Chain A
């Protein structure tokens, strides 16, 4: 019985070790596909300004334009604080060139934090068009413009302009 218990523990440890190795390999390969950015942003509908850091993961081989994008923003305005969370797709074209056009689309969860009332939250779609200016050592400056459109519980529009630093791992 004791032998069986020891064998079970060893087998479990081997499974955990192999899973960790696999995870480590995935983490390493993900890191090579990462692009991070910290742009400043202004949304001219309602007028808020702040930052919206984003992480992009390249989907396919080096040179591919396709990326998954996750972004979370914190923007301040006279009437509310705006916290958007975005999940989407961004294409970054012309790999290896200095000037690279970008186009993106996705969904956002938009929260409007009001000082003396309940927060308003809604889902929206966004589109953005922009350009990256590649700099030495994997740095870049990126600029995007684009509308967002909420069509369900609290319909409305927005239009954002973003510019900032980006780094490709």
Chain B
């Protein structure tokens, strides 16, 4: 094998290994069901008007401790954009009166809620090294969840608009064609 071909082959082999260290990317609709919620997901959405409420539906057949993190691209025009999220489902604490007022929807009977207001004075800044992106982050939070149906509500409490990425899950599984989605919608995931 020529040296040039060996160099190219080595680069391709190394590039193919990168999905094993990254989240599975997906653009989401306003109401989105995530089929395999244990998988490490990066769910991309956008608030155009600021009054949207994204609802991400998850089901667990066994208990699981799941990390959640809400990211905003580190762009000047999104410096004041601070979306919040709530994890709603069984086994979580009942909402306080203040939380009930803050939330965009009523927590169903029998469900509790974890609320991340994203109102820290200084936000965590993270560098996502695979795609060379920088985000403001709510900071990762691990929630122990029991078996059952859950929802994540992502909303903009002050009505501002911008892009977000909801990061959740742990396991790596790119059988759904993770990198193919990235190349098909490069500008969403890479910029």
Could you tell me which A residues sit within 8 Å of B by CB distance? 43-47, 78-80, 103, 105, 112, 114-117, 120, 122, 127, 147, 149-151, 154-158
* Alpha-carbon distance between A45 and B191 when the two chains are bound, in angstroms: 7
A150 and B131 contacting across the interface, CB-CB below 8 Å? no
B4, B15, B74: the one within 8 Å of A149 (CB): B15
A116 and B125 contacting across the interface, CB-CB below 8 Å? yes
Interface secondary structure of B, over-half rule:
mixed
Which one of A112, A115, A117 has the greatest number of beta carbons of chain B within 10 Å? A117
B131 and A156 contacting across the interface, CB-CB below 8 Å? yes
A79 and B134 contacting across the interface, CB-CB below 8 Å? yes
* Alpha-carbon distance between A54 and B130 when the two chains are bound, in angstroms: 26
Given contacts A45-B190, A127-B11, A155-B18, contact A112 B132 (CB under 8 A): yes
Minimum CB–CB distance from A147 to chain B (whole Å) comes to: 6
Q: Which residues of B contact A149 (CB under 8 A)?
A: 11, 14-15
Minimum CB–CB distance from B57 to chain A (whole Å) comes to: 31
A79 and B74 contacting across the interface, CB-CB below 8 Å? yes
Q: Which residues of B contact A154 (CB under 8 A)?
A: 127, 129
Q: Which residues of A contact B175 (CB under 8 A)?
A: none
Minimum CB–CB distance from B111 to chain A (whole Å) comes to: 36
Q: Which residues of A contact B181 (CB under 8 A)?
A: none
Minimum CB–CB distance from B145 to chain A (whole Å) comes to: 30
Shortest Cβ distance from B124 into A: residue = A117
* Alpha-carbon distance between A3 and B130 when the two chains are bound, in angstroms: 70
Q: Which residues of B contact A44 (CB under 8 A)?
A: 186, 190
* Alpha-carbon distance between A149 and B14 when the two chains are bound, in angstroms: 8
Q: Which residues of B contact A120 (CB under 8 A)?
A: 127, 129
